Copies of this chain bind each other. A is one copy, B any other.
Amino acid sequence: MDAALHESPARMLARAGIEATPLRLAVVGAMAGAGRALPAGDILALVRRLRPANRVTLYRILDLLVEKGLARRHSAGDRAQRYCLEPGTAGAPHGHAYCVRCGAMQCLPQGAGLADVAALGAGLAMDVLSVEVRIDGVCAACRESKGRPAGAAVDGDPGNS
């Protein structure tokens, strides 16, 4: 996609008040421009194309990114949490489309359809913190390829740590 639209990983970390380290830059780089929310395992595989990386450290970095507001954590139908970068400008939430076949979780354009869900939360006798909207289904790629799941996962074998 159009790389010019994206801030550099270094700037993103700076904006969130997180000290830049090689691993953190690699993690943010892996998530940037994906256009979808990735499970920790996929992010780890992507980062390991560039450098060795420890599983636990990755989880700690992801926790930090979420805590500092740079990333969001989303639950899908399966057991793994997905992480996607907050769209640059603000904390406006966005929904996701989850393929129950291949596990891909596409980020949807901001604001789409979420307005009245947020309104719904307002009447709830609850301090609303966030709103999760997920559309489950079978993605176009998986609908075609009847056989194996379409974009099943990031390649690259396991191993290190």
Least CB distance, A156 to chain B, in whole angstroms: 25
What's the Cα separation between A113 and B135 when bound, in Å?
Answer: 14
What's the Cα separation between A128 and B96 when bound, in Å?
Answer: 12
Chain B residues contacting A31 (CB-CB under 8 Å) are: none
Least CB distance, A104 to chain B, in whole angstroms: 10
Q: Which segment of A34-42, A48-56, A115-123 sits at the interface?
A: A115-123
Q: Which of A112-161 contact B (CB under 8 A)?
A: 112-117, 119-121, 124-140, 143
Least CB distance, A127 to chain B, in whole angstroms: 4
A75 at the interface (CB under 8 A from B): yes
Chain B residues contacting A27 (CB-CB under 8 Å) are: none
Chain B residues contacting A112 (CB-CB under 8 Å) are: 120
The answer to whether B133 and A137 touch across the interface, beta carbons within 8 angstroms, is: no
A13 at the interface (CB under 8 A from B): no
A60 at the interface (CB under 8 A from B): no
The answer to whether A136 and B140 touch across the interface, beta carbons within 8 angstroms, is: no
Using a CB–CB cutoff of 8 Å, the interface residues on chain A facing chain B are: 73, 75-77, 79, 95, 97, 99-100, 108, 112-117, 119-121, 124-140, 143
27 examples of A-B residue contacts, CB within 8 angstroms = A73-B77, A75-B75, A75-B76, A75-B77, A95-B117, A95-B120, A97-B121, A97-B124, A97-B126, A100-B129, A108-B120, A112-B120, A113-B119, A113-B120, A116-B116, A124-B135, A124-B137, A126-B138, A126-B139, A127-B143, A130-B135, A130-B137, A131-B133, A131-B134, A131-B135, A132-B135, A133-B134
